[in-house]
A and B are shown apart, each in its own frame.
Chain A
Amino acid sequence: MTSVAATPHAGLAAHAPTSFWRKYIFSTDHKIIGIQFLFLSLFFLLLGGVLAMQMRWQLGFPGQAMPGGGILPETMAPGGVILPEYYIQLVTMHGTFMVFFAIMPLLVGVFANFLIPLKLGAHDMAFPRINMASFWFAFLAGSVMLASLFVPEGAARAGWTMYAPLSARPDLSGAGLGMQLWCVSIVLLGLSSILGSLNYITTIINNRAPGMSWFRMPLSVWSLFITAILGLLALPVLSGAAIMLLFDQTIGTHFFNPPAGGQPLLWQHLFWFFGHPEVYILILPAMGMASDIIANGSRKPVFGYHSMVFAIVAIGFLGWLVWGHHMFMSGMNPTLGSSFMISTMVIAVPSAIKTFNWMGTMWRGNLRFHVPMLNAVAFVAMFVIGGLSGIFMAATPVDIHIHDTYFIVAHLHYVLFGGSLFALFGAITYWYPKMFGRLMNERWGKIHFWLTFVLYNLVFFPMHTLGMGGHMRRIYDPTIYDFLKPYQPMNQFISICAFILFAVQAIFALNFVISLFRGPRAPQNPWQDNGLEWTLPNPAPHGNWERVPTVYRGPYEFSSPLVEEDYLPQTRKLPADREPAVLAGGAP
């Protein structure tokens, strides 16, 4: 493999930038960019949480002055009492921040950037400067979205789905500039995602180490690969739709505005044609990383690796055929509803395969419940609830009743919070030593996990009952409805649990920050894993490898009978291993 060592990349560490600006701010190092995304998206996660707390206050204690709400301006909450127009901004911006600026960049911006080169044995991304541009577009998009909270009429207020014509008509929504900034921000974010996706796809296809064949790639990389393809194809649709919406708002076009011949349903079709692949963008990387962590924690190879890969591919493909299930009640032709219902039922199958294979991975394992493992198993347990509750709304007749109720809110939070966010807590803890060279505190990690797990279920499980009772989403004051009055104690209970759940996240935040400075220095391979990234020092240097490693096997050879230890790194050459053909993994 001397040809590999002689590539121009070799010895990159020696050429690492030394100035603070080039090293940490305008960096082209995929690891630094991943960490930049991490801080950016954790900030928005916190902000999204703050907005959610205000919503929960209003729902639990409608019309009462919110503690600390006095600092909000008269246009939002005079005397601390939340106004209806502010409430729907909260609804809109909570969803927007969480989906576009917290979960999506946490999964993709952070971990696609950080993991793909490290797990494939590449020096960096295929296009490091485009990678840097991707982060700065995301930063710009986030700044614009953040700024929209502070414009005089307030932020966007048509829900994160931005249904037209409410979103297209400032005279009907009451928000002009806020809505426009939403559109501009989404276009910028789309640009960021498209650039990032191009980079991830190219890197995975071209920059694998010798021996890293497709079916030796970790499932995290497989899922990020399919996610990147979804992102590359879906985000342009959203960007296009957002530009059309911006034109409707500002220069008098009528794409979505019926009096002049526009079609409100066109927006929904465009939005959900993006939006449903987006749902899988928000869960596939979590599935992949949870697979890595569960194999590690179980000390066993992933059960049915190949079918796990095919399930990811199947979800990625079928994800394009189900968007209409968001529109069963929209007035779309009911015959179309039937076909979307069937395709939605079918997509449950690859999800079921994944779930049973995770269980198969744990079966007869030697389970180490470190903090990442706890969170990854919780991911499976919670994702299953979200997946099963999805069947209720996939069944079109049942959807008639639960559509646009808290049943949907429960479902989506089981997938995005119970699913993605638990996987993320696990993934952040797991790769933290690789990012910062230190370990997070194990005991506080477990305390955070158990408190979050219990409180999370207390907050979101009762929402199923609210939804069954007919409690609508996005309403400012449920108590004005006689049929919802009996549910008020439950709303209060949910709110109180939500406040504690939010407060408990301080444990994670403190653990994260304090460990940066005080955490124990991480050994080179703290989780005794097989992945390529753990053959490097923690944190890994600029350019990662002086000499690209050679890969001899898949990533999940735990408890192999060939070796004494219960793990077998991908790079360890056993006497029987042959050198891979140079072409097998593509050129570095």
Chain B
Amino acid sequence: MDWWLPVQASTIAPQIDGMFTAILIITGLAFVIVEGGLVWFAIKYRARPGRKAHYTHGNVKAEYVWTAVPAVVCVGLGLVSNHYWTQIKGRDSVPADAYPIKVHAKQFEWLFTYAGPDNQLGTDDDVPEVRNKLHVPVGRPVVLEEESEDVIHSVFVPAFRLKQDAVPGMQIRAWFIATRPGEYELACAELCGMGHYKMRARVVAESKAEFDAWLAKAAQGDIE
């Protein structure tokens, strides 16, 4: 069992994990200060007969400090978050040369339509409706064009740190660059009905040559 985040298999994974670690250090520090303080006070100031508590209504200076420090830290984290967020999810962030794959979600399966050699969806050379198998080339931007037939689903590939809801009536794009060849799993992250738990797909990240070869076979109907 892993006690840490899953394997990093996309370019955004190190960015997200880096932020996770930074927040863990900051909150870990706050955690130690608060919990340590509570335990220390609980022991040091436990009731003893004949003693009276220190009578005070507060200290404005101390309160300024513990208002300002969290405020600065939180807003700072907000700015850093926004930097990565815009890079990953911003409307204009999708690279122009990204290879498009249409994701059609429905209870309880994923249908992937791959662009053919022309790198465009909606043309005759598309490889349509490959069921529960997402093949992606390593090192090349891939954009998922998500849609849903019935209810809300959510594409979740933990190894890619990729998550994006697929909403009926909406077209939503999510992009990533796979960095590490291998087999991963795609799960549905949004409760979508009684078969939600088994709405999974296999993800294969492979070299450009392997991907092209697979796509050519898939075009003939052989998706294995």
Question: Which residues does A use to contact B, with CB under 8 Å?
Answer: 84-85, 88, 91, 157-159, 163, 165-166, 169, 172-174, 258-259, 262-265, 298-307, 329-331, 333-335, 337-338, 341-342, 345-346, 348-349, 352-353, 355-357, 359-360, 362-369, 377, 380-381, 384-385, 388-389, 391-392, 394-398, 400-401, 403-405, 465, 468-470, 472-478, 480-483, 486-487, 489-490, 558-561, 566
On whether A299 and B167 interact (CB within 8 A), knowing A174-B194, A364-B45, A397-B85, the answer reads no
**Residues on the A chain within 8 Å of B161, using CB:** 400-401
A401 to B159, CA, bound (A): 9
The reply to whether B1 and A395 contact each other, CB–CB distance below 8 Å, is: no
A367–B82 contact, CB under 8 A? no
Q: Is the CB of A363 within 8 A of B45?
A: yes
Instruction: Tell me, in angstroms, the Cα distance from A204 to B167 when the chains sit together.
Output: 45
In contact, A470 and B170 (Cβ under 8 angstroms): no
Verify A480–B167 contact, CB threshold 8 A: no
Show 14 A/B contacts (Cβ-Cβ < 8 Å), sorted by A. Answer: A163-B152, A172-B107, A174-B193, A301-B57, A337-B89, A341-B81, A352-B70, A356-B62, A396-B89, A397-B81, A400-B89, A401-B5, A470-B158, A473-B191
Mark B residues whose CB is within 8 Å of A: 1-6, 12, 15-16, 19-20, 23-24, 26-27, 30-31, 34-35, 37-38, 41-42, 45-48, 51-59, 62-63, 66-67, 70-71, 74-75, 77-78, 80-82, 84-86, 88-91, 107, 150-152, 154, 156, 158-159, 161-165, 167-170, 172, 184-185, 187-198, 200
B168 A345 Cβ-Cβ under 8 A: no
The chain A residue sitting closest to B200, CB to CB, is A481
A363 to B158, CA, bound (A): 44
| CB of B57 to closest CB in A, whole Å | 5
CB distance from B92 to the nearest CB of A (A): 10
- Cβ A172 vs Cβ B150 within 8 A: yes
Partner of B4, one of A84, A397, A468, A474: A468
**Interface residue from A265, A304, A331, A469 paired with B58 (Cβ < 8 Å):** A304
Residue contact A360 to B156, C-beta cutoff 8 Å: no
Min Cβ gap B71→A in Å is 5
Residues from chain A with Cβ under 8 Å of B2 in the complex: 469, 486
Query: Which residues of B are found within 8 Å of A388, using beta-carbon distances?
Result: 27, 30-31
B193 contacts A173, CB within 8 Å?
yes
Q: Among A342, A481, A566, which residue has its beta carbon within 8 angstroms of that of B53?
A: A566
| B191: chain A residues within 8 A (beta carbon) | 88, 91, 158-159, 163, 166, 473-474
Q: Which chain A residues lie closer than 8 Å to B15 at the CB level?
A: 397
Distance A381 CA – B75 CA, assembled complex (angstroms): 24
- CB within 8 Å for A331 and B170 given contacts A301-B55, A398-B16: yes
B197 touches A480 (CB 8 A): yes
**Contact, CB under 8 Å: B16 / A397:** yes
B56 & A392 in contact (Cβ 8 Å cutoff): no
CA distance A342 to B107 in the complex (A): 35
Docked complex Cα distance between A303 and B58 (Å): 5
Least CB distance from B136 to A in Å reads 17
Extra A-B contacts (19), CB below 8 Å, given A172-B150, A330-B165: A91-B191, A163-B190, A258-B167, A262-B169, A305-B58, A334-B90, A356-B63, A356-B66, A364-B56, A366-B52, A377-B42, A392-B24, A398-B23, A398-B81, A401-B158, A472-B188, A477-B197, A480-B197, A482-B185
Q: Check A468 against B5 for contact (C-beta < 8 Å).
A: yes
A298 to B75, CA, bound (A): 33
Cβ-closest chain B residue relative to A402: B20
Name the A residues within 8 Å of B45 (CB-CB): 298, 362-367
A366 touching B58 in the complex, CB below 8 Å, given contacts A342-B78, A345-B74, A472-B187? no
Whether the pair A400, B168 counts as a contact (CB closer than 8 A) is no
What residues of A have a CB within 8 angstroms of the CB of B59 in the complex?
303-304, 360
Q: Which of A362, A400, A475, A486 has the most CB of B within 10 A?
A: A400
* In the bound complex, CA of A331 to CA of B193 (Å): 20
Residues of B within 8 A of A359 (CB): 34, 37-38, 41
